[in-house]
A and B are shown apart, each in its own frame.
Chain A
Amino acid sequence: MALINPKKKEVQVKIVYYGPGRGGKTTNLEYINKKFRSRIKSEMVTVKTYNDRTLFFDFLPFDIGMIKGYTIKIQFYTVPGQVKYNATRKLVLRGVDGIVFVADSMTLRQEMNIKSLENLRENLASFNKDLNNIPLVLQYNKRDLGKQGIPILPIETLESDLNGSLKVPYFPASAVTGENVAATMKKIISLTVISLREKLDLGGK
């Protein structure tokens, strides 16, 4: 849960980018890090293994200014998507306030998307959290590949595979070109902050 500091009048909010390996989570944060440099006061922290795969997480703090007199510090994390890193994925999910699920649009990755979303549901359940009940945005990444003749899933298929019962906001996107990367980020920030409002009202007293 978001940590509220009534003395410094500061709230730390944790937003996690989740999804299958190589889906583009790290690329999302890299784009945000470049595009919004002025709002980011420190370097992006990444714990990578060889081949640029995320070993543990990426971390990017992002300031969005004040709400109800509190400075809101958004902290973006990515998890390592590779199946074998589930223990570290769970560590990163600890205390999560909002989630972006980055799905890979490539037809080849259809099954991996579904499995990864299922894995997210299970991991949240181990913290007594419910996927249906947490701020969540879906991103259908790598849409740009369609133009290069690489088979990608139609949005309708991704929707019925992943968002059939969740019915959360979704964005077709490309983390390499930047298409809808900011829109995805803004949506998850606003959903998460709205869900924290109630808590802030209490904490403000």
Chain B
Amino acid sequence: MDFTFDFNKNQLESIENILEEELIGLGVECVVLIDLAGNVIVNLDNGKCEHDVYSLAALAAANFGAVSAMANIIGEEEFSLLFHKGENDSIHFSKIGTDLLLLTIFGKEVSLGFLRLKVNEANNKIKELV
């Protein structure tokens, strides 16, 4: 499977608004919407975050692909929760539709439960747009 994505300006702006409202508003440091080829579609941060999002996107797409392949081997469609916890910062991955992936980087002050809720809301809203 391969894909082409073309987003117009309006779509990109709407996606940014959703992410800003749901996630940056919640206090996360950085959100990156990528495709499974590792391209960055939208990235937003709280102004204090200087991660190399292009490298992050390349690794996240590959990582997600590898984890999906593992899921298939054990007979699962996919793993719904992908989450890497660090001492200070953590990364949460969420698949949007079939070809997009939302990465959220957040610190200790954000609760995982609340984050998942918000990511879900953002996910549903973005799905309607693309």
Contacts and interface: CB of A to CB of B under 8 A. Distances in A.
A77 B65 CA distance: 16
Nearest to A90: B65
B18 to A, nearest CB: 15
B74 interface: no
B85 to A, nearest CB: 21
B37 A45 contact: no
B6 A75 contact: no
A17 interface: no
Max chain B CB contacts within 10 Å: which of A6, A87, A96, A127?
A6
A6 B12 contact: yes
A59 to B, nearest CB: 4
B20 to A, nearest CB: 14
Main DSSP-derived SS at the B contact region: mixed
Interface residues of A, number: 30
A7 B35 contact: no
A5 B32 CA distance: 14
B58 A77 contact: yes
Contacts of A77: 58
A59 B75 CA distance: 31
Contact of B9 (A7, A88, A127): A7
Interface in A29-81: 42-43, 45, 47, 56-57, 59, 61, 73, 75, 77
B12 A12 contact: no
A3 B55 contact: no
B112 interface: no
A47 to B, nearest CB: 8
Contact of A12 (B7, B39, B62): B39
Contact of B54 (A57, A73, A91): A73
B12 A7 contact: yes
A203 B41 CA distance: 15
Given A1-B2, A75-B58, A127-B2, A95 B35 contact: yes
Interface in A1-17: 1, 3-7, 12, 14
Contacts of A43: 52, 55
A99 B3 CA distance: 17
A61 B53 CA distance: 11
B123 to A, nearest CB: 20
Contacts of A59: 38, 55, 58-59
A128 interface: yes
27 contacts: A1-B4, A1-B5, A3-B5, A3-B35, A3-B37, A3-B39, A4-B6, A5-B41, A6-B8, A6-B9, A6-B12, A14-B39, A42-B52, A45-B55, A56-B62, A59-B58, A61-B54, A73-B54, A75-B38, A75-B58, A77-B58, A88-B62, A88-B65, A94-B2, A95-B36, A95-B37, A127-B2
Given A59-B55, A59-B58, A95-B36, 6 more contacts: A6-B12, A42-B52, A75-B38, A75-B58, A87-B69, A127-B1
